Structure 1
Amino acid sequence: MFLSSFVSNLPGGNVGFIIPRESGGYIVSYFAQIAEFDWESRQVKPFITVESDKPGNRFNDGKCDSYGRLWTGTTAEYKGILEVTEVGRLYKIDKDLSIHAIEDKINISNGMAWTSDDKTMFYNHSLPRKVFSYDYDITTGEICKILKSIKFPVSQITSCCFGGPNYDELYVTSSVDELTEKQLQNEEKLAGSVFKVTELGAKGKAAPIFQG
């Protein structure tokens, strides 16, 4: 098997996510934009820009539900993890490319995952150290009440996905960004770990692609 790679510098900041697209190519986020990305031509064409009134904000993680909607969120650019304020938002982007702000007062928006029956959505909100689970309506793409929150022993959880032979285990990643050596030896000993959450009473599935 042969692998190929190339480096493409995107204008405007860090890449938050890259996801395959049903119509071909990929969608990619960089800074406060979401763009079409063609692997062959290496062309990048932005089609969504958000939060122009908050020039320090950028997209972070993003995932698609099984209907092909994109869920993603923003965070403020920061020099230290404790400097992050609740100025981000959680967004839903439908197949017609309409964008909807779902939640605000988010500090660091991170990964999502869904159960195999599409009735529950899991969402990583990093600085509170929690993963939230919501009632989810796959037909409308609406989230309802919070069903459960899971507290973690680290300050920077980043993303989540289902795995295991039956997709009944939730894997949650974490970061060591900006942590001091003293913190890593004391209250943040598990920072950078991948956590496995079991006995959720729910099953997930492989990650869908963007249908828009």
Structure 2
Amino acid sequence: MMSSVKVECAVKTGSLIGEGPVWEESEQTLLFVDIAGQKIHRWSSTTNQIQSVETADMVGFAVPRQSGGYVAGVGRSIVAVDWSTQMMSSLVEVDEDKPNNRLNDGKVDPVGRLLAGTMGKEVRPAEVQRQQGSLFSVTSDLIVTKHLNQVDISNGLDWSLDQKTFFYIDSLSRTVDAFDYDSHSGQIGNRRVVYRMEEGEGLPDGMTLDVDDRLWVACYNGGRVINIDPATGVRLQTVSLPVMKTTSCCFGGPDFSDLYVTSASLGLDQSEKRQQPLAGDTFRVTGLGVKGRPSNSFSG
């Protein structure tokens, strides 16, 4: 890790499972969820205040919506969230035949289409009934398409700058995969592995891309974020965090040069909690020398 890199606690939440951060440029706020705590949080970098909305079930992700407010994955439903009234209304439901499933990570592609994946309910953190999940897309007119099935834990996702490659993580496979992506039709194909996790790196969880099309992958049970060149499969950099259960990351700050990293406290025993007092908090990493990109908003 480069000596100029600095890691600090940005948001003190102690979340059971903090996930899916999204930087809102216009508000200079960080949007993220607490899956097990069933909350969507908004942290203002200017006031250092947190606003929260409670969800009626586990919430896997929340993303901005072009028409205002947000859409979130709550239980098996994609819901519209009106932040001002704290009201939620269901738009579509997935995995109707699998009532024990829930939505996990989700992100919007460069043309406004939402991609989101599911997983079976966890017995313990990262312990699930395998191959129960799927990956779906939702268009602006709420047409749902299933792209993958037999997924263990559907997780990180993002797109290359030219929109021709879709990167995706099914955590228990311990790989980061790439697909050819047709942004017009939303179809994916030609799956291949771009990185295989090494001993000690934990499970790949949430991820984001920078402006150089390099991947930044949060490593659950690995206590780090790794920077990967998907063209070569080489790990370029490792950022160590003071917590083991790092869950996801995004770029933010005034010029998108800060990396925000979420973490989880669920599943830690008392001894581990004493050793990791910041578990569940959200961290800001500065001095990386790279910038990220603004997030996309759902067009539906």
Q: Give the TM bin, normalised by the shorter chain.
A: 0.7 to 0.9
How far apart are 1:200 and its partner, in Å? 2.3
Give distance in 2, aligned partners of 1:199 and 1:15. Answer: 29
SS at match of 1:54: coil
In the comparison of the two structures, how many residue pairs are matched?
A: 193
Q: Would the aligned equivalents of 2:194 and 2:230 in 1 still touch at CA under 8 Å? A: no
Residue 41 of structure 1: which of 81, 85, 94 is its match? Answer: 85
Q: Is 1:198 aligned to residue 229 of structure 2?
A: yes
Pick aligned residue for 1:171 from 216, 235, 244: 216
Paired residue type of 1:200:
A
Question: Does the 8 Å contact 2:53/2:83 carry over to 1?
Answer: no
Q: Which gives a bigger RCO, structure 1 or 2 (Cα 8 Å, sep 6+)?
A: 2
In 2, distance between residues paired with 1:113 and 1:22? 19
Instruction: Give the AA of the match of 1:104.
Output: N
Equivalent residue runs for 1:28-177 within 5 Å: 28-80=72-124, 81-153=126-198, 154-163=201-210, 166-176=211-221
1:34 shift after superposition: 1.1
- Distance in 2 (alpha carbons) for counterparts of 1:133 and 1:69: 18
**TM-score for the superposition, normalised by structure 2:** 0.61
Say whether residues 1:17 and 2:61 are aligned partners: yes
**Structure 1: segments with no counterpart, 5+ residues:** 177-190
Indicate how the Cα distance of structure 1 residues 199 and 150 shifts in structure 2: closer, same or farther if over 3 A, else same: closer
Question: CA contact under 8 A between 1:167 and 1:205: conserved in structure 2?
Answer: no
Q: Write the distance in 1 (CA, Å) between the matches of 2:110 and 2:191.
A: 20
Amino acid of the structure 1 residue aligned with 2:131: E
Alpha-carbon distance in structure 1 between the residues aligned to 2:153 and 2:190:
21
Unaligned runs of at least 5 residues, structure 2: 1-45, 233-291
TM-score, normalised with respect to structure 1: 0.85
- Alpha-carbon deviation of 1:147? 4.0
How far residue 53 of structure 1 moved from its aligned partner, in angstroms, is 2.2
CA contact (8 A) 2:215 2:230 kept: no
The Cα shift of 1:47 comes to 1.3
- Which amino acid counterpart does residue 228 of structure 2 have in structure 1? V
Could you tell me how far 1:3 is from its partner in structure 2?
A: 4.8
Give 3-state SS (helix, strand or coil) of 2:91's partner.
strand
Shift in alpha-carbon separation, 1:37–1:86, aligned structure 2, 3 A: same
Q: CA deviation at 1:129?
A: 0.3
Which amino acid in structure 2 is aligned with residue 162 of structure 1? Answer: L
Q: Which amino acid aligns with 1:152?
A: M
